[in-house]
Structure 1
Amino acid sequence: MRDYLESLEQDAAKDPEQRARELSRRELPKRFYKQAVAAPIEGGFAIHLDGRAVKTPGKSTLLLPNETIAKAVAAEWEAQEKVINPGAMPLTRIANTAQDAVTARFAEVADEITRFCGSDALCYRADDPAVLVARQTEVWDPVLRWAEDKLESRFELIAGLIHREQPATLLKAYRARLDAFSPLQLAALHTATSLAGSAVLALALAEGHLSTDDAWTAAHIEEDFNIERWGEDAEASMIRAYKRTEFDAAALILRA
């Protein structure tokens, strides 16, 4: 298996369309089962395909922590038609990653997410036009204030794109909160962070401060502003829809 953190960074750098193209070039396995169901087993739930448990790429039985997540994963398998397409199964991919990699390398993944917080998108503000500045202030400031209360430290706001690291005490407090996550939740948090460009929005989603819709909207203020001004082409719309599916999968795990 490739180094997990390297894999995360490479996957995050790809847009969903690129990932879909890569998957489409592979020879996908044909659907070989009639029914996919969530089945209770010791320690949680498995996914049974005609009675046989789904295995992770690491060859262990895929184990889900609760019925809500297990039924959603089973639905992904049930939705496959002639072939099994991992590109259309975000919950399964996150669960596989959590079980095969994050469990053994929890601290490294948590540290990686914390580094996202150190250059969080919510701290980098436009200086014009005024309408965009106002929207960022209206939506992002309350989320940062919430996070500051939780972390007992203040974020530094930056105008423009010049990097400035956030205070070490804030990052230490953020990292400490991640120790309460399970490996599956941490894998989902990394997915949400990558898609939102914000570890703060991901944490607010995970801790119930923001709904899935509100977190998604907050992550796309600038993009939505540009769509209003210039319109959106079909390819960009397709990519965004794919990303939303991935984000919803991560949110389901974090909120289940």
Structure 2
Amino acid sequence: MAAPLARKLSKFDFGCTTIRLFRNCLKNGCKHDRSFNTRELKKFYKNATITQSDGWFEVNLDQRKLRTPCGNLFRVPNEALALAVATEWNSQKKIINRHNMHLTSLCNTALDNPMHKTRDTLISSILHFLETDTVSFFIKEPPELYRLQKEHWGPMIQMVEERYGIQVPVIEDLASTPDLKMETVATLTKYLQSHSDWALFGYTFAVETVKSLVLTLALMDRMLTVERCVQLSRLEQDFQIERWGNVEWYHDLDLYDLQSRMAATALFVYWSNETVKIKKKSMLPASEAYVF
């Protein structure tokens, strides 16, 4: 069941690279040290499928409806997102690795909204990253790192400024404070308001992951690939790794984790803003509910 669902995702294209990263993460498990997983959950179902109901798409584990951690019915706005979530569940082996199921987690957050965030609160928290954006702080020492930042961050900032008609505050003196223009805030507020509530949760997750609204905007607008977005967010870290060496079991896992998170989030935002209707509905009985 997992393979047909994964193949069906290809018709909802956000870019082959992003789809590939998402599917590779599911295939390979993006394995982490399980020591922080305090409660392992054994796989208790055979297949995850989707059904349509009242304009929403639900995910079923065998013949039972999936529910969110708060007990709400798990349902998503369109078929593509439902297929992707079902693929996450079908990709689990003997143990359900919930910390790797980024799309499921994002959907749970959007459905439960545990912090009771409004649209205005979400937009405000997203825009707050402009004042502490990763690519806005240039470090002059050592000179080699400063040149890398100018070479890689500079053009990206310019592209985003031209695309959105904004001014990204750049700091080269850590004692200074960012000069964030009100016009920039107003422009980006209007832009973010054009997104659905679900997409705003995705933007929030993305900027918190790479600590950059500039990189998130560029990724969502397809000016960057997921790999390039993560690479730019890790520019200083990769510089230090090249100089002092790599701790394989830590740095490599961190890289793959960031890529899988950003790939899932890019798909989540894209599909959350799309309205995709299913042509043929196959209903399954849904009696008992699973709550996570």
1:84 aligns with 96
Matches within 5 A, 1:15-94: 21-22=35-36, 24-26=37-39, 28-94=40-106
* Contact persistence 1:103–1:183 (CA under 8 A): no
1:100 aligns with 112
Higher relative contact order (CA 8 A, sep 6+): 2
Question: C-alpha separation between the residues in 1 aligned to 2:32 and 2:171?
Answer: 31
CA change 1:37–1:123 in 2 (3 A) is same
**Equivalent residue in structure 2 for 1:221, among 218, 235, 245:** 235
Give unmatched runs, 5+ long, in structure 1: 1-15
Question: C-alpha separation between the residues in 2 aligned to 1:64 and 1:162?
Answer: 46
Q: Which amino acid aligns with 1:112?
A: S
Give unmatched runs, 5+ long, in structure 2: 1-30, 272-292
Number of matched residues? 238
Matches within 5 A, 1:177-216: 177-216=191-230
1:135 aligns with 148
Residues 210-250 of structure 1: CA distance to partner in whole angstroms, max 9, x if unpaired? 22122112111111111111111022322332232222211
**Equivalent residue in structure 2 for 1:159, among 168, 172, 182:** 172
* Contact persistence 2:130–2:168 (CA under 8 A): no
Q: Which amino acid aligns with 2:153?
A: W
1:25 alignment partner, SS class:
coil
Q: TM-score, normalised by structure 1?
A: 0.83
Question: C-alpha separation between the residues in 1 aligned to 2:90 and 2:235?
Answer: 35
Question: C-alpha separation between the residues in 1 aligned to 2:188 and 2:216?
Answer: 12
Q: Which amino acid aligns with 1:122?
A: V
* Contact persistence 2:227–2:259 (CA under 8 A): no
Q: CA deviation at 1:128?
A: 2.9
Q: CA deviation at 1:252?
A: 1.9
* Contact persistence 2:137–2:171 (CA under 8 A): yes
Corresponding position: 1:149 with 2:162: yes
Query: Where is the helix percentage greater, Structure 1 or Structure 2?
Result: 1
Matches within 5 A, 1:232-247: 232-233=246-247, 234-247=249-262
2:175 alignment partner, SS class:
coil
Question: C-alpha separation between the residues in 2 aligned to 1:193 and 1:179?
Answer: 16
Q: CA deviation at 1:21?
A: 4.3
Q: CA deviation at 1:17?
A: 7.1
* Contact persistence 2:230–2:258 (CA under 8 A): no
After superposition, the CA RMSD in angstroms is 2.4
Q: Which amino acid aligns with 2:168?
A: F
